[in-house]
Amino acid sequence: MNQEAGYTFHYPDDWVVVEAKGAGGVVVYAPPGDPRSSPANVSISLTPVAEGTDLQSYYRQTVGFLGVMPGFRLESTRRESFADSPAFSIAYSMAPKGTRFWALQITTLMGTTAYSAIYSSGPKTYKRYLVDGGLIVRSFQLI
């Protein structure tokens, strides 16, 4: 729970939580061992957005930003519900620094803040941690 940032979520007991630097960010790492070498993670981020930004515009901005990343491939997009609000999800892969990883991001807007949860992992472990990662993302609630 991050009361200062106004959200809560649940994660498996054996996952490690690390507070990210900045306003309200958290990264939850899957086991085993050192979080810096974790095979999977879920990150929660809060991003300021301009007053009046709608979800469709923010979706286009997000895909545009990701599109400049090395090896970016958009796999799928969907309309969703996230934290009981309209949202979008995007599944994608990219290869920064030559290492490919897969990600599933879901984002909603509340006022002038974009709330995003991103599950990411390497191709070999993506399916292994997808259920736990998905449960973490789905448990996200604004408080």
Largest CA distance in the chain: 43
pLDDT value at residue 54: 96
Is 72 or 14 the better-scoring residue by pLDDT?
Answer: 72
- Domain annotation covers residue 53: yes
Question: pLDDT confidence of 1, banded at 50, 70, 90?
Answer: low
Q: Is residue 86 part of a domain?
A: yes
Count how many domains the chain has.
Answer: 1
Residue 121 near residue 89 (C-beta atoms within 8 A): no
In tens, the pLDDT along 100-140 reads 999 999 999 999 999 999 999 988 889 888 888 888 888 88
70 upstream amide cis, omega within 30 of 0: no
In a domain, 98, yes or no: yes
Residue 121 lies in a domain: yes
In a domain, 19, yes or no: yes
Instruction: Determine the Cα–Cα distance for residues 125 and 93; give it in Å rounded to an integer.
Output: 13
* Region of residue 22 (left: phi > 0; alpha: psi -120 to 50; beta: else): left
Q: Average of pLDDT values for 86-92?
A: 96
Provide the pLDDT for residue 76. 96
Q: Is residue 63 part of a domain?
A: yes
CATH number at residue 61: 3.40.1000.10
In a domain, 1, yes or no: no
Residue-range definition of the domain harbouring residue 56: 7-142
Query: Looking at the domain assignment, is residue 2 inside a domain?
Result: no
pLDDT at 92 over 60: yes
CB 94 within 8 A of CB 66: yes
pLDDT-derived band at 96, boundaries 50, 70, 90: confident
